[in-house]
Amino acid sequence: TQLLEQSPQFLSIQEGENLTVYCNSSSVFSSLQWYRQEPGEGPVLLVTVVTGGEVKKLKRLTFQFGDARKDSSLHITAAQTGDTGLYLCARYRSNDYKLSFGAGTTVTVRA
């Protein structure tokens, strides 16, 4: 059973369109990270969010941490082909130092 549910599993859009991917859990996060993984490579950290309601922006990427700290979203504005990849969320539990990853959303941006 996945502790973290990511949706959708796959997403294919045209260059210039916007997209949003989601990360949800039935339990509260201590904090959450988003990674991007390109084909044949390891994941690369994009952002860490730690406060409920927090919004962070990284150029065309906007990350939001839900008020109840059970969900997060990643929104990409005007997607580019370079945004293609697997987007992973990861949660950290401070009570037992456990780090868990979701299965990811595969995003394909078509030229």
Partner 1 sequence: NAGVTQTPKFQVLKTGQSMTLQCAQDMNHNSMYWYRQDPGMGLRLIYYSASEGTTDKGEVPNGYNVSRLNKREFSLRLESAAPSQTSVYFCASSEGTLAGGFLTQYFGPGTRLTVL
Between 30 and 81, name the residue whose CB sits nearer to partner 1: 30
State in angstroms the smallest separation of the CB of 24 from partner 1. Answer: 14
Tell me the closest approach of the beta carbon of residue 14 to partner 1, in angstroms. Answer: 26
| Dihedral angle, C-alpha 66, 94, 48, 52, nearest 10 ° | 20
Binding site for partner 1 (CB under 8 A): 2, 4, 9, 30-31, 33, 40-45, 48, 50, 88, 90, 92, 94, 97-104
User: Measured from the CB atom, is 74 or 90 closer to partner 1?
Assistant: 90
DSSP E strands in 1-111: the ranges are 5-7, 10-14, 19-24, 31-37, 44-49, 55-58, 61-65, 71-76, 85-93, 98-101, 105-110
- Residue 18 or 30: the one with the smaller Cβ distance to partner 1 is 30
